[in-house]
């Protein structure tokens, strides 16, 4: 099961932040989690005197470098950003022509922002009105400003709304499509951007093609397999276009509504097998439920270079297989970075001992399950022989098929050339020198054609499409409720033959929009639209006309298909402010959310959770450990930096509970679960909140599971998983767990 927490990609890049005049960070701690990238932020501070504003419930190492620190209450960023928008509109600091030409629905935002006075924002977020006014002034008046976010915005029931309000703020100031501006979403894992782009997800096909008959047919053709064969892999046709379970809630699929768990919609059967490829499992919220899910599986397969601690957590005795898997150093291929650029990675050593690479495991599995031929058919199309070369032919298959995000130019040959010449590019602009001149490092997508240079800044109309320019994508029709959705007069990218906005390019409209004539041969070869045109005629003609194949439309501030058309503040399910849950209640319950009935309002109103559990629980990261932590806790030197699981607790709170610095303490959760951890006194947190890292496993609710590791595999550090006490709660669109918005109580152990 792949792992793609959070969403989005950087519109710009780390290097480009050196062009910023102001930097605002919401819910990210790059000094710890992106320490190399953070160097660029520090350079912007030194060279441009860029103001650094950090909005975080915890005083982090990033906050320590900030000019302004806003200690926000968890889950209230929407209120905070509306507060900024309130002041921006009130004082006329918005970019009016940008909004007029390039944004749809800002009027709704303006009306909502009007309600969020600094005083009201102070009450909801805990950030002083004077500080809000000060930072808004600095940020709105320093153009260009860049906005960064990461997991502090996404791991909430309103995470998807958070990821909309942030771009809205940037749009209001005309900070999109500008060097030094943009929304820079700091991605997580090595190649998590690539995993997202390939849609190792349960609700899309690769390249974000939707689950529709049209997409399946396009893929069947491109993969060289029969559509009817693909259809035959499903129980019935309807399941082809049905979202699957997510990583967050596969366990609900196993438990099938038993013991009071949420009901599932899975055709009358429950999940029986879990096949894990590169996830720690102890990194998932609600570990007691995860354990119950693991215990009830028929088969558990863990492909991992280490002993995946799912095997330690479960009481299941049989039918658990750990397949020794090779690491990145033992394999090669392309990976995608946080700024949409690719790198070619070379193998360092052959797989050690009996380890196999991930792809070899998949090939072997497909052989035994009887579909190796179909699985590899697309890779054989290039050589037109019954053979293929891995991974080159896989990369070229991706380049051939994925048009949506413009991967046509990502051929293995070009990617290798870029990685080999990585020193021939500028660190700020990404522009190449010498023989790499005219290209951008790693060909950040979209790379519309095989000779396109890549697009270092998304939505940048100051450069031509041929040089990486583009407007916003036309994706949702030409008008909505009578309002034109295409961009306005001054919005066409530089050198465009077509002025103003234009629709996405199809076989039907290409002649009219580009004012060209296709030859009969071209008419025969052209695909229906730019997304499925493997002839590349649409892309090539568009490049000649300086037109982005995906159109030039307005960005949508109003997303009429979502539960909240514009982002709305809604209190976390487990909120310390019961008074505010009445004014800003969570969503209605959502049946069949990725196949699982999901509770919102019924959970929020079940009782006043804050009476018993008054403390905000914040989970996050440490610099020496990663994710579920097994890889690093198995390193003697990294483990030594944090040898045991701990909690950062304010001495005032600790004092109230008789907990001395260094004492063992319990953290109790509304889930009825608890963990035993070491208290570390810290003023980085206030007395109403705790910070715990989520990188530990090997203890469960006070019990040491050390004896369950296979001989010789116990890591140097084990401890309680933070996720044993994270609370119920899932994002309304993506089902990401609310691991940054829960409640807890503390007790001396």
Residue 207 binds which of ligand MGD, Mo ion, none (CB < 5-8 A, kind-dependent):
none
Contact positions with ligand MGD (CB under 6 A) in 689-718: 694
Closest distance to ligand MGD from the beta carbon of 380 (Å):
25
- Examine residue 694 and tell whether it contacts Mo ion (CB under 5 A): no
Per the CB < 8 A criterion, the answer to whether 180 and 16 are in contact is: yes
- Examine residue 621 and tell whether it contacts ligand MGD (CB under 6 A): yes
Cα gap 199→3, rounded to integer Å = 10
Per the CB < 8 A criterion, the answer to whether 667 and 617 are in contact is: yes
- Examine residue 308 and tell whether it contacts ligand MGD (CB under 6 A): yes
Cα gap 102→268, rounded to integer Å = 47
Closest distance to Mo ion from the beta carbon of 154 (Å):
9
Per the CB < 8 A criterion, the answer to whether 319 and 298 are in contact is: yes
| CA separation, residue 733 to residues 247, 555, 567, 681 (Å) | 14, 19, 12, 37
- Examine residue 723 and tell whether it contacts ligand MGD (CB under 6 A): yes
- Judged by CB under 6 A, which stretch of 110-118, 410-418, 462-470, 618-626 contacts ligand MGD? 618-626
- Examine residue 630 and tell whether it contacts ligand MGD (CB under 6 A): yes
Closest distance to Mo ion from the beta carbon of 155 (Å):
9
Per the CB < 8 A criterion, the answer to whether 148 and 187 are in contact is: no
Cα gap 146→142, rounded to integer Å = 10
Compare residues 283 and 496 and give the one whose CB is closer to ligand MGD. 283
Among 125, 160, 279, 581, binds ligand MGD (CB under 6 A): 279
- Examine residue 280 and tell whether it contacts Mo ion (CB under 5 A): no
Among 11, 13, 29, 336, binds ligand MGD (CB under 6 A): 29
Output the six-digit token pair for 703.
């019990």
Contact positions with Mo ion (CB under 5 A) in 173-202: 188
Q: Angle 392-401/412-420 helices, nearest 10 degrees? A: 110
- Examine residue 189 and tell whether it contacts ligand MGD (CB under 6 A): yes
Binding mask of the shown chain, residues 5 to 44, with x at each position contacting Mo ion by CB under 5 A: x---------------------------------------
Among 306, 344, 445, 696, binds ligand MGD (CB under 6 A): 306
Residue 724 binds which of ligand MGD, Mo ion, none (CB < 5-8 A, kind-dependent):
none
| CA separation, residue 649 to residues 644, 662, 685, 687, 692 (Å) | 15, 11, 7, 7, 9
# residues near ligand MGD by CB under 6 A = 57
Residue nearest to Mo ion according to CB distances in the complex: 188
How far is Cα of residue 169 from the mean position of the Cα atoms in its chain?
A: 19
- Examine residue 722 and tell whether it contacts ligand MGD (CB under 6 A): yes
Among 10, 22, 23, 28, binds ligand MGD (CB under 6 A): 28
| CA separation, residue 162 to residues 6, 13, 26, 185, 345 (Å) | 11, 21, 10, 12, 34
- Examine residue 58 and tell whether it contacts ligand MGD (CB under 6 A): yes
Per the CB < 8 A criterion, the answer to whether 638 and 632 are in contact is: yes
Contact positions with ligand MGD (CB under 6 A) in 284-303: 303
Quickly tell me which residue has 């009969």 as its tokens.
520
Per the CB < 8 A criterion, the answer to whether 449 and 467 are in contact is: no
Contact positions with Mo ion (CB under 5 A) in 115-144: none
Closest distance to ligand MGD from the beta carbon of 715 (Å):
10
Per the CB < 8 A criterion, the answer to whether 135 and 53 are in contact is: yes
Output the six-digit token pair for 667.
């953290």
- Judged by CB under 5 A, which stretch of 3-11, 64-72, 444-452, 652-660 contacts Mo ion? 3-11
Among 75, 83, 105, 293, binds ligand MGD (CB under 6 A): 75
CA nearest to 532, candidates 221, 193, 226? 221
Closest distance to ligand MGD from the beta carbon of 222 (Å):
26
Among 167, 181, 305, 546, binds ligand MGD (CB under 6 A): 305
Per the CB < 8 A criterion, the answer to whether 232 and 240 are in contact is: no
Closest distance to ligand MGD from the beta carbon of 29 (Å):
4
Closest distance to ligand MGD from the beta carbon of 175 (Å):
18
Binding mask of the shown chain, residues 368 to 397, with x at each position contacting ligand MGD by CB under 6 A: ------------------------------
Residue 203 is inside which H or E element, if any? Answer: none
Residue 305 binds which of ligand MGD, Mo ion, none (CB < 5-8 A, kind-dependent):
ligand MGD
Q: How far apart are the first and last CA of the chain?
A: 37
DSSP track, 91-159: TT-S-HHHHHHHEESHHHHHHHHHH--HHHHHHHH---HHHHHHHHHHHHHSSSEEEEE-HHHHSSTTH
Residue 630 binds which of Mo ion, ligand MGD, none (CB < 5-8 A, kind-dependent):
ligand MGD
| CA separation, residue 63 to residues 162, 207, 440, 661 (Å) | 20, 36, 32, 24
Per the CB < 8 A criterion, the answer to whether 199 and 377 are in contact is: no
Contacts of 178 (CB under 8 A, 6+ apart): 143, 144, 457, 460, 462
Compare residues 24 and 526 and give the one whose CB is closer to ligand MGD. 24
- Examine residue 77 and tell whether it contacts ligand MGD (CB under 6 A): yes
- Judged by CB under 6 A, which stretch of 235-243, 398-406, 617-625, 638-646 contacts ligand MGD? 617-625
Compare residues 470 and 628 and give the one whose CB is closer to ligand MGD. 628
Residue 437 is inside which H or E element, if any? Answer: none
Is 252 in a helix, a strand, or coil? helix
Output the six-digit token pair for 438.
């005219």
DSSP summary character for residue 543: H
- Examine residue 325 and tell whether it contacts ligand MGD (CB under 6 A): yes
Residue 216 is inside which H or E element, if any? Answer: helix 213-223
Among 174, 333, 453, 620, binds ligand MGD (CB under 6 A): 620
Compare residues 548 and 625 and give the one whose CB is closer to ligand MGD. 625
Compare residues 277 and 705 and give the one whose CB is closer to ligand MGD. 277
Closest distance to ligand MGD from the beta carbon of 49 (Å):
24
Contact positions with Mo ion (CB under 5 A) in 441-460: none
Compare residues 27 and 446 and give the one whose CB is closer to ligand MGD. 27
CA nearest to 563, candidates 148, 195, 158? 158
Compare residues 293 and 549 and give the one whose CB is closer to ligand MGD. 293
Contacts of 521 (CB under 8 A, 6+ apart): none
Contact positions with ligand MGD (CB under 6 A) in 201-240: none
CA nearest to 379, candidates 414, 412, 335, 341? 412
Contact positions with ligand MGD (CB under 6 A) in 153-172: 155
- Examine residue 246 and tell whether it contacts ligand MGD (CB under 6 A): no
Cβ atoms < 10 Å from Cβ of 711 = 5
- Judged by CB under 6 A, which stretch of 40-48, 121-129, 473-481, 620-628 contacts ligand MGD? 620-628
Which spans of this chain sit near Mo ion (rule: CB under 5 A)? Answer: 5, 188
Which spans of this chain sit near ligand MGD (rule: CB under 6 A)? Answer: 3, 5-6, 26-29, 32-33, 55-58, 60, 72, 74-75, 77, 150-152, 155, 186, 188-189, 277-280, 283, 303-306, 308, 325, 327-328, 358, 618-621, 623, 625-631, 694, 722-723, 726, 739-740
């Amino acid at each position: 099961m792949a792992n793609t927490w959070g969403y989005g990609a950087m519109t710009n890049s780390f290097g480009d932040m050196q062009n910023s005049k102001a930097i605002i960070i919401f819910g990210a701690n790059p000094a710890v989690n992106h320490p190399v990238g953070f160097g660029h932020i520090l350079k912007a501070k030194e060279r441009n005197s860029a103001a650094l504003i950090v909005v975080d419930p915890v005083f982090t190492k990033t906050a320590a470098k900030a000019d302004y620190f806003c200690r926000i209450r968890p889950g209230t960023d929407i209120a905070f950003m509306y507060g900024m928008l309130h002041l921006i509109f009130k004082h006329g600091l918005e970019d009016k022509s940008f909004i007029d030409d390039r944004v749809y629905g800002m009027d709704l935002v303006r009306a909502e922002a009007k309600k969020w006075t600094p005083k009201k924002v102070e009450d909801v977020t805990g950030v002083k009105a004077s500080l809000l006014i000060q930072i808004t002034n600095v940020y709105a008046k320093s153009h260009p400003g860049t906005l960064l976010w990461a997991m502090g915005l996404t791991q909430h029931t309103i995470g998807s709304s958070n990821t909309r309000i942030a771009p809205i703020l940037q749009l209001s100031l005309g900070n999109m499509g500008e060097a030094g501006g943009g929304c820079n979403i700091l991605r997580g894992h090595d190649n998590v951007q690539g995993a997202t782009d390939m849609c190792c997800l349960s609700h899309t096909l690769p390249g974000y093609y939707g689950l529709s008959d049209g997409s399946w047919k396009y893929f069947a053709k491109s993969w060289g397999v029969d559509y009817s064969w693909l259809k035959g892999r499903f129980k019935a046709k309807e399941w082809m276009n049905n979202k699957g379970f997510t990583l967050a809630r596969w366990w609900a699929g196993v438990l099938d509504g038993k013991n009071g768990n949420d009901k599932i919609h899975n055709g009358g059967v429950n999940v029986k097998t879990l096949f894990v490829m590169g996830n720690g499992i102890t990194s998932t919220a609600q570990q007691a439920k995860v354990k119950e899910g693991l215990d009830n599986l028929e088969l558990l397969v863990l492909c991992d270079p280490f002993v995946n601690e799912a095997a330690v957590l479960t009481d299941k005795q049989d039918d658990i297989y750990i397949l020794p898997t090779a690491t990145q150093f033992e394999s090669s291929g392309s990976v995608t970075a946080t700024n949409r650029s690719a790198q070619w990675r070379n193998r360092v050593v052959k797989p050690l001992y009996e380890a196999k690479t991930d792809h070899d495991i998949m090939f072997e599995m497909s052989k035994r399950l009887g579909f190796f031929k179909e699985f590899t058919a697309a890779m054989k199309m290039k050589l037109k022989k019954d053979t293929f070369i891995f991974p080159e032919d896989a990369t070229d298959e991706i380049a051939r098929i994925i048009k949506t995000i413009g991967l046509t130019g990502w051929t293995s040959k070009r990617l290798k050339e870029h990685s080999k010449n990585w020193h021939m590019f500028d660190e700020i602009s990404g522009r190449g020198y010498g023989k790499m001149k005219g290209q951008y490092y790693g060909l950040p997508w979209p790379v519309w054609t095989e000779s396109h240079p890549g697009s270092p800044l998304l939505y940048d109309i100051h450069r031509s499409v041929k040089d990486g320019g583009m407007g916003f994508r036309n994706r949702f029709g030409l008008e909505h409720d009578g309002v034109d959705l295409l961009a306005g007069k001054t919005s066409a990218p530089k050198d465009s033959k077509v002025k103003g906005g234009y629709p996405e390019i199809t076989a039907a409209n290409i002649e009219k929009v580009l004012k060209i004539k296709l030859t009969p041969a071209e008419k025969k070869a052209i695909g229906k639209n730019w997304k499925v045109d493997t002839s590349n005629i649409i892309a090539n003609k568009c490049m000649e006309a300086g037109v982005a194949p995906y159109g030039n439309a307005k960005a949508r501030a109003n997303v009429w298909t979502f539960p909240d058309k514009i982002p709305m503040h809604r209190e976390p399910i487990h909120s310390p402010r019961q008074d505010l849950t009445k004014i800003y209640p969570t969503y209605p319950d959502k049946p069949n959310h990725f196949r699982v009935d999901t509770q919102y309002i019924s959970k929020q109103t079940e009782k006043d959770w804050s009476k018993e559990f008054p403390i905000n629980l914040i989970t996050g990261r440490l610099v020496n450990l990663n994710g579920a932590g097994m890889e690093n806790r198995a390193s003697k030197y990294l483990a030594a930096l944090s040898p045991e699981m701990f909690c950062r607790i304010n001495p005032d709170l600790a004092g109230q509970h008789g907990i001395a610095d260094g004492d063992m303490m319990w953290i109790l959760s509304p889930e009825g679960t608890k963990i035993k951890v070491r208290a570390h006194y810290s003023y980085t947190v206030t007395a109403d909140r705790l910070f715990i890292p989520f990188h530990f496993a090997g203890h469960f609710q006070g019990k040491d599971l050390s004896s369950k590791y296979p001989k010789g595999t116990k890591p140097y550090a084990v401890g309680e998983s933070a996720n044993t006490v994270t609370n119920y709660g899932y994002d309304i669109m993506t089902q990401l767990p609310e691991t940054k918005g829960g409640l807890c109580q503390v007790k001396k152990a």
